[in-house]
Amino acid sequence: MLHELPPQNKSNAVLATLRRFVRASATQEKCELCAVGLPPEHRHLLELSVGRIICACQACAFRFHDVVDGRFRLIPREIRSLSQFRLTDYEWDSLALPINLAFFHYSTLESKMKATYPSPAGATESLLPLDSWQTLASNNPLLTRITPDVEALLVNRVDRRREYYIVPIDLCFELVGLIRLHWRGLSGGDSVWKEIADFFNRLKKAALPNDAVP
């Protein structure tokens, strides 16, 4: 699992995050609040002021349940599949993203909606045309359910896939780490595309349906 949200224009933080992703499989992680050892599946908190994701044990995580205005915010676990999501090829193109894989989340620190896509170098923020996002949101009112900072709309339109999810923000950066770790050459190589497909297959199995439009 990836543990640090890369701040804008801080390449060192991005590299540190990706190194932690690699080390995680080799060493036992510890709660960053109380230092107790953690199982592979554990909770994460977002430190809002610096946009950092930290690992937490169940006891420490529970302290931040329902906390909204504190230093830390508990990242949820629920994954929601949006099979009735409305997005035409023209609307997608209007978002001006260079690849067909991206996630969108609202940053309260920056007071804006951000579009980010994974790349061989890590997470890259794209300038998001405001009118394009407003059109997308008006066509899909369920986007108002996304919790600022800790949830994101994750879009996968690679090849013929048309997959849309509301996911915890840490899963988005797990995907970024997978791509950074497995990318080879100019096109990525077979391994990275298999990892991406496996990631979304796991996501699909874990997701709850959320097709009701208010």
| pLDDT, tens digit (0-9, with 9 covering 90-100), for 29-72 | 899 999 999 998 899 999 988 888 999 999 999 999 877 778 89
Which pLDDT tens digit goes with each residue over 142-192?
Answer: 998 899 999 999 999 998 899 999 999 999 999 999 999 888 887 888 889
Contact (Cβ atoms closer than 8 angstroms) between residue 53 and residue 4: yes
- What is the DSSP code string of the chain? ----PPPTT-HHHHHHHHHHHHHHTTS--B-TTT--B--SS-EEEEETTTTEEEEE-HHHHHTTTT--SSSEEEPP---EE-TT----HHHHHHT--SSSEEEEEEETTTTEEEEEEEETTEEEEE---HHHHHHHHHH-GGGGGSPTTTEEEEEE-STT--EEEEEEHHHHHHHHHHHHHH-BTTTBHHHHHHHHHHHHHHHHHHPEE-----
Looking at residue 3, what is its pLDDT? Answer: 40
Lowest mean pLDDT among 2-11, 15-24, 81-90, 157-166: 2-11
Q: Cα separation of 191 and 197, whole Å?
A: 10
Provide the pLDDT for residue 119.
86
CB atoms within 10 A of CB 120: 15
Residues of each domain in the chain carrying CATH 2.10.110: 11-74
Whether 191 contacts 184, CB under 8 Å = yes
Give the integer Cα–Cα distance in Å for 7 and 52.
Answer: 8
Closest CA to 92 of 122, 119, 115, 125: 115
Distance CA 114, CA 130 (A): 10
Q: How confident is the model at residue 12 (pLDDT cuts 50, 70, 90)?
A: very low
Average pLDDT of span 121-134: 84
Residue listed under structure tokens 């931040």: 64
Which residues have C-beta within 8 Å of that of residue 91, sequence separation ≥ 6?
132, 135, 136, 139
CA 114 to chain centre: 11
Is CATH 2.40.10 what the domain over 11-74 is classified as, yes or no?
no
The tokens of 15 are what?
Answer: 């590299």
Q: What is the pLDDT of residue 122?
A: 86
Average pLDDT of the chain?
A: 84
pLDDT number for residue 211: 53
Strand pairing category for 80-81 and 101-107: unpaired
Q: Is 80 exceeded by the pLDDT of residue 210?
A: no
The model's pTM = 0.82
Residue 2 pLDDT > 50: no
pLDDT at 13: 44
Place of tokens 């709660």: 31
